[in-house]
A and B are shown apart, each in its own frame.
Chain A
């Protein structure tokens, strides 16, 4: 597609529920990032995919968070047993190959999915 698409744009859920957030990156972008942003803060790194594999998942807060990218395109961030502290905007970004490439410095972000856990 022309840009990075994220759905849903807004999600309100109750504490303890399961949520899935979807990201459709720019066609041909092999690198995909998930970030979490709270009000007044910078994007906090969660996980980075290079193709289908998670190259770095060191930012996932705990084992309630999991992300997949089975075909190297669309990615889904999954959060189990949501807690109020999970409330934030979840941002997805993509770029050309994350290897030795100047284009890998240019991340294109989606509009984000705002998650509110009541």
Chain B
């Protein structure tokens, strides 16, 4: 059974710092991996989606990498801002096609002004 782990569970950094969030998964046979952002009381906003054949994806200050063979992904946030404060969730899609996502528990990020 696929399991997704995110480290750290919580992180507090001063504004302007670069930071890395980690995600690991037990079964490397994944179709793709997705990073989401969740604000309190809100749904999930997709940040980046990496296909299994890709190594990384970038969007603005965000960069996500994928090492499928070792079962790891990282989300890099450059020049963090207070508005980045949220919970970041990592999810893998185990198979091709429209299958359910398997989520980690998330990393709760606080960026202090």
A and B bound? no
The chain A residues found within 8 Å of chain B, CB to CB, are none
Interface of B toward A, CB cutoff 8 Å = none
